[in-house]
Structure 1
Amino acid sequence: MNQTHHFQSVSPLGKQYWSSTIGKSPPSVDYEAVIGSEDAVLEWLENVHRYGFCLVNGVPVDPKLTEELIRRIAFIRETHYGGFWEFSPDLAHGDTAYTNMALKAHTDTTYFTDPCGLQIFHLLSHTEGSGGESLLVDGFRAASILQEKHPEDFEILMRTRVPTHAVGDALYKYTVIGEGYPIITTRGGEPSMIRYNNDDRSVIKHMAPEDVAPWYVYRALASWDRVLSSPDSEYWFQLQPGTVVVIDNHRVLHGRAEFTGKRRLCGAYVGKDDYLARLYALRDRAVAKEGESSVWDPTL
């Protein structure tokens, strides 16, 4: 698929769409800076807001310090995986993340009514094996391409509610309430949320007869998959100990290559509201330092 300037542009919502070429200069900040400076935290979160992800370099390979770093953003969100988690591919949870299998590009917690906002990963070690390269895809750019190249399929993925579930844990069986949610949500004509994990898709039994054929022959889903898996869309990189990646789970899809050996990772989820509240507070602080008026409406 040919790259165009349109898909690299800044959207009206302030999002910078990106392709695989972002690997030449991915957004990043320095660990020591964000630990010691609120201005650096603002730069960090502005990167996440603009690009949907940001790397933090120079992080000590220590779960406690990784957790401290995450709490520089906001509160950690508790889920059935725990709060701050550390894991290996041991099937401690009935989830493909706890295996060494390849994972295609997806977003997490599609089976929540409120999917987790940010996802944070830190690879602590990888020994006795190889592989496991990380994958990121800009879901907003992918949705924009689908809208331009295959508008009917784009409309199907905006209109069709997809039930999702997670039933791998004995204590918790998750399923979205009612008929599910669309894969693509828009606001003001721009993509505003991607909710997609093919492994979480549940039984579709609520659709009108006229919608069944295009969905079940996977026309729209196949078009979506082709855009996501295009070499132009996929940013592959080898995550190393000492580098943390923060991902906007409402926008950027992530995945990984199959691997051998033993891997240990740690990380956490942060709620979207909490992350944005921190970003807005830091923006207000920066404006106040410059002697300008608050970004908030004076009636507040």
Structure 2
Amino acid sequence: MNAQSTPRISADGTVLHLLLGEAETRFHAIWLRDNALDADTRDPGNGQRLITLGDLPDTVTLTDARLAEGQLHITFQPEGKTCAFPLRWLADHTYDTSAPAPLLTKNVTPWDSAMAPPSADLTALQTNDDTRRDWLASIRRYGFAKVTGMTPREGGLFDIVDLFGYVRETNYGRLFEVRTEVNPTNLAYTGLGLQAHTDNPYRDPVPTLQVLACLENSATGGENMVVDGFAAALRLRDENPAGFDLLAGYPMRFAYTGSAGVALHSRRPMIELSPDGTLQSIRFNARSAAPCTDVPFDKMADWYAAYRRLSDIIDDTAQEVHFKLAPGEAFIVDNTRVLHARKGYSGAGNRWLQGCYADKDGLLSTLAALEAQDA
């Protein structure tokens, strides 16, 4: 990327004006100094800062700015220090914009029942970086993906987590069984159908990824379903913006006390937005809902109306993708976005799945490293 004019420094030296492409962009002197890329400011090996703000002068100004070979060279005062910034790096990190933050980030695409589940073979994922990168990118974009070609064995789902990160152990253990039990501690262990939901909303933070792998599935019924919680939230916002704001603006309460020695509670909104308004997560699980006491009396009826409508949208078959796992198949969901469910199944035959949790930071880190190889 080439700048198209000479960079300009404001009269007081605190702001840099730079033309990047077709638009003029401004950077504060203190921002540039804090984010300098030189070896005295950042470790050349790991990129971590070697300074704190307390190491910088109280007032930082610029006295020189020039372009050379695709880089901007800036001199900071009172240090008399000159640092170089690649123009591409500046373009990627510009913050001088009046546009509101998008509701969805650029790598997220909402979907409905027309969605074809992304899928990849486990051996290919383990041996081919391109396959693994594309599969991980699908999870980032759509919030779920399938895995085929597994050996249906106990603990085999850990091979999926090993592709990108680590198992997150909970009170359910490193893995949990999903099959019919007598006197179950959780409704997931019965043959009942389950409404689409996110897992463990009573934790803070919630496990951000869930893996479910099939070892046996000869029972009648029991198809898996997934619903895009972001798409459901967007549909609610289009139909009822005020209701969307109520669900995003007040916390829901969730609780789980179904096992001895366990009493989990959380207080978070069903639709969670970042401070700048980007959709961040969905928490929806009727089985784990606790009495909501944080909505004002005069807003409670409208809050419930929005809650009911979101529930109806989630139950709409137009929103769901369904599939029946065969032994040796698995799927992974972003538990902050995608709701999962299952149809009811009969007592005839066997249905045995194993599940575990992991965290999205490992997945996104592995994906970023793979994408950097191609840059």
Smaller-chain TM-score bracket:
0.7 to 0.9
**Aligned match for 2:122, one of 31, 38, 52:** 31
Show structure 1 runs of 5+ residues with no match: 1-9, 288-300
Go from structure 1 to structure 2 and tell me whether the alpha carbon gap of 1:103 and 1:190 turns closer, same or farther (over 3 Å shift).
Answer: same
C-alpha contact (below 8 Å) 1:166/1:174 kept by paired residues:
yes
- The one-letter code of the counterpart of 2:265 is T
C-alpha contact (below 8 Å) 2:202/2:255 kept by paired residues:
yes
**Using the alignment, how far apart are the partners of 1:268 and 1:202 within structure 2?**
24
Q: How does 1:137-156 map to 2 (within 5 A)?
A: 137-156=227-246
> Deviations 1:12-38 (Å, cap 9, x if unpaired)?
43111111011xx32111211012123
DSSP 3-state at the match of 1:157: helix
* Residue 68 of structure 1: how far off its partner (Å): 2.0
- The one-letter code of the counterpart of 2:373 is R
Q: How does 1:1-300 map to 2 (within 5 A)?
A: 11-22=104-115, 25-90=116-181, 94-127=185-218, 129-176=219-266, 180-187=267-274, 188-215=276-303, 218-261=304-347, 262-287=350-375
C-alpha contact (below 8 Å) 2:178/2:354 kept by paired residues:
yes
* Residue 242 of structure 1: how far off its partner (Å): 2.0
* Residue 11 of structure 1: how far off its partner (Å): 4.3
* Residue 93 of structure 1: how far off its partner (Å): 5.6
**Using the alignment, how far apart are the partners of 1:12 and 1:273 within structure 2?**
16
Go from structure 1 to structure 2 and tell me whether the alpha carbon gap of 1:45 and 1:92 turns closer, same or farther (over 3 Å shift).
Answer: farther
**Using the alignment, how far apart are the partners of 1:16 and 1:175 within structure 2?**
31
- The one-letter code of the counterpart of 2:319 is S
**Using the alignment, how far apart are the partners of 2:104 and 2:291 within structure 1?**
35
Higher helix residue share? 1
**Using the alignment, how far apart are the partners of 2:301 and 2:157 within structure 1?**
48
* Residue 166 of structure 1: how far off its partner (Å): 0.7
Runs of 4+ that moved beyond 4 A: none
**Using the alignment, how far apart are the partners of 2:372 and 2:232 within structure 1?**
32
CA-atom RMSD in angstroms: 1.8
**Using the alignment, how far apart are the partners of 1:224 and 1:86 within structure 2?**
30
> Deviations 1:174-206 (Å, cap 9, x if unpaired)?
112xxx111001244442210110111112223
Higher strand residue share? 2
**Using the alignment, how far apart are the partners of 2:212 and 2:183 within structure 1?**
18
* Residue 122 of structure 1: how far off its partner (Å): 0.9
* Residue 121 of structure 1: how far off its partner (Å): 0.6
**Using the alignment, how far apart are the partners of 1:64 and 1:206 within structure 2?**
41
C-alpha contact (below 8 Å) 1:138/1:253 kept by paired residues:
yes
Aligned to 1:293: none
* Residue 52 of structure 1: how far off its partner (Å): 0.6
Go from structure 1 to structure 2 and tell me whether the alpha carbon gap of 1:96 and 1:146 turns closer, same or farther (over 3 Å shift).
Answer: same
> Deviations 1:208-233 (Å, cap 9, x if unpaired)?
22222323xx3111110121112210
**Using the alignment, how far apart are the partners of 1:30 and 1:68 within structure 2?**
12
DSSP 3-state at the match of 2:253: coil
* Residue 279 of structure 1: how far off its partner (Å): 2.1
Aligned to 1:6: none
- The one-letter code of the counterpart of 1:169 is S
Structure 1 length as normaliser, TM-score? 0.84
C-alpha contact (below 8 Å) 2:198/2:336 kept by paired residues:
yes
> Deviations 1:128-163 (Å, cap 9, x if unpaired)?
x31101110011111111111111111111012111
Which stretch of the first structure deviates more once superposed, 241-250 or 270-279? 270-279
C-alpha contact (below 8 Å) 1:100/1:260 kept by paired residues:
yes
Q: Based on CA coordinates, which of the two structures has the bigger radius of gyration?
A: 2
C-alpha contact (below 8 Å) 1:122/1:265 kept by paired residues:
yes
Go from structure 1 to structure 2 and tell me whether the alpha carbon gap of 1:243 and 1:139 turns closer, same or farther (over 3 Å shift).
Answer: same
Q: Which has the higher contact order (CA 8 A, sep 6+)?
A: 1
Structure 2 length as normaliser, TM-score? 0.68
DSSP 3-state at the match of 1:285: helix
**Using the alignment, how far apart are the partners of 2:186 and 2:176 within structure 1?**
14
Aligned length: 270
